[in-house]
Structure 1
Amino acid sequence: MNRIVVVGGSLAGVSAIDELRRRGYDGELTLVGAEPGLPYDRPPLSKAALTRLVEGEEPDDLLLRPAAWYDDRDVTLRLGVPAAGLDVAGREVLLASGDTVSYDGLVVATGSILRPSSIVDQLPSVHQLRTSSDAHGLAAALRAGGHLVVVGAGFVGMEVAATAVALGVTVTVVDIAPVPMSRAFGPALGSWFRRRHEDHGVRVLCPSGIARTEEVGRRTVFDLAGGERIVADAVLVGIGTVPAIGWLEDSGLALGDGILCAPDLTTSAPGVVAAGDVVRWDHSLFGESLRIEHWTNAVEQGGHAAATLLGEPAAFDAVPMFWTDQYDARVRCLGRLSPADDVAVLTETERSVVAVTSRAGVVRGAVCINAPRRLAAMRAAIAEQRQVEDLLSAAPAAS
């Protein structure tokens, strides 16, 4: 294998490059990325980096690796020109510029893109948050103050709500879900987050549908399904993402809410592996098909896909981990969280919560809020498929 191409200037893509060189691959290595700049870290865009932008400071620590890192590893950078197609028979990546890049081995790490929104289509002045450019635009709107309406009570929406209210912005969150972040945490833990936000001054309208939207001058008017009218000086639409697979539709790769991969992250095409948000694969521990959009998964899958491509395949069955920081709540989540699973709270204080999710009594996931010392034990409980009853009987005081 003399030519490997990594498509996607993402965390998974950079992790794959790192692992390829670490394992001794010394052939040609090319990174294709849609954005013009070097790959950067996205999670801070809704938190610390957004705060710094609002305060007039340009974040200078978002790059995943400095330019010299790519030079040291002899990586050819093809940035600012997205991939537009894939010829698996000819082993070529077609770029939007019309150029092609040939490969012997290919890592697809194109991540995810924002979910289409009728609100965005109707109101061109509203904001979304996925890229550094998006963060700059949102920061400018928040700097003006006034009333921010967040449409979507998922992770990004609630993180921005916490950031904005701390900066003195009036914030209202609107979502049809019964509680914030319900798809991840279910009603009990979602209600905990709702109380946290309301205690800090965020108005949370869940569940609440939007019947009508209208731009009036520089402001946006929302008529809610219940009859209430709210007026926004700025709007953030954060209703989630979808896998970035549009460029692969005619490639012949097996697709379905992501790239369908074998447990070792190989795709249906020879010499092609995938990593990160774009992957859907069968997880042996949970016995189901998963697609995970989180930082740790991208790092681990990037390295794993690289090893598979170099001839060391193995099933990827790591226990997922992800997090969110909102106010003084440092939330660390493990395993498979689903609102359909049972939730058991092991310990709870005013500031700290440790809870597990389970199915048929077997632990599948855990949430540790301000309880970092419990993470290792919870991860082991998930990997070992322990019974919830065992954890309840042995639950210590909150950390």
Structure 2
Amino acid sequence: MSSNPSDENGGAACRRIEDFIFVRELNEVFLLLDHISGRWDKSLYNFHNHDDGEPHIDQLCAIGLTPPDNDEQRVAQAVRLLCAKDKLNAAARPATGLTIAFTLLVVGEENQRDWRNWVRNALLRRGAPDAAPFECPPHTDKPTRLTLARYAFPGLVKAAERFNRRVFRIVVLLVLGLVLTCAMSWHVTGGNAMLQHLDSLQAQHATLYKAIEEAEIKLAASATAPPVRFCSEADAQGRPRYRNTEEAQLCTRAQLLAEQFSAVHMNLGNWLIPWRTIYAKVAGVFGQVTDDRAVPSYATPAERERFMRRGTEEQARVVTLVVGTALLPLCYGILGAGAAVVRGLWAKMRESLLSPRDYTLALLQLALGATIGACIALFVNPSGATTGREVGLLGNWALSTSALSFIAGFGVEGVFVALESLVRRVFNISDPARRPGD
């Protein structure tokens, strides 16, 4: 026994560190064994032949069950453990002990320490008079694969909790963004439908008034006769008076057309209320111009109404153009990148490939998806196929800008690879991946 207390304390500290590292390595080896044995597409190295010089399953199990008698056995166990860890990582690739442990900590077996399980257990035991409010069931303290993950990588426990919270926030924001984007898309679709109806009414209006002009010329007796204006005469009670059946039919069609015009403009005005409200909030910072200042002071009430209707129609066309070609592609680009992020996380969870850096990579992918969604219209021609050669970055596609933005956000890496290829062609830059002799 050493006479120096500091040496004893130092030796004990070194022994605790040694045991801690040894236990971590042993738990990681058992995690790898559990992962490989549970996969149909992976197999353990050959442990039946005891003459191959490699550690075997029975030897690994003996490490956890049989304590070493001396330092030589302890060193032999450590060497055997490291060799087994190396072989098992090779058999489990692309997964590693770290990714397996992190995946278990994020989405593994039910975590009995979670507060939601305390609440669930309390609700299930409601009505039992002798049950403590926060007493765990007997199986709670039994070791699980989560226990191996915690002991093998204790530094990942807090990281996994933060990862869960952050990924949950990303999913919630994506769902909210999906709802907002769908609502905006449906709203713009409704505006486009009203504008198309308005264009159709304007075409009918032009055809109808051409027929009225021809009927007025036909009704005139000669070129020197006073001009005839249909739908302008009224009787003493103010009711319209018609000269013949043709005038009555044309004026009735004109009245119905005017009623449809009024209904469409009223719907457009209601449709523009949220956009006008948003614009008023923003314009109020710089000084808003009211509608009264825009209307000429000498205008009659009828002219003022026509002016306001034209202003409503113009505002609706501007809103549908800006939102449909700028705002919606940005939102769909983010949604496409979000779908790729969620799909990638799901695939990594299934293959036990999650790591703490995946959250940062997800944020970067969302940022790239927003960028390409906002800029995709600069490089593509969504009007459909043409007879010429390729146009823009992706050629001609019979897809809308929003659809292309979603696709570009989903495959953002491929789009930026295509952008790099376009830059090399435009500026005559050689491909650094090609050898000079190729």
TM-score calculated relative to the size of structure 1: 0.23
Q: Larger C-alpha radius of gyration, 1 or 2?
A: 2
Higher helix proportion: 2
TM-score calculated relative to the size of structure 2: 0.22
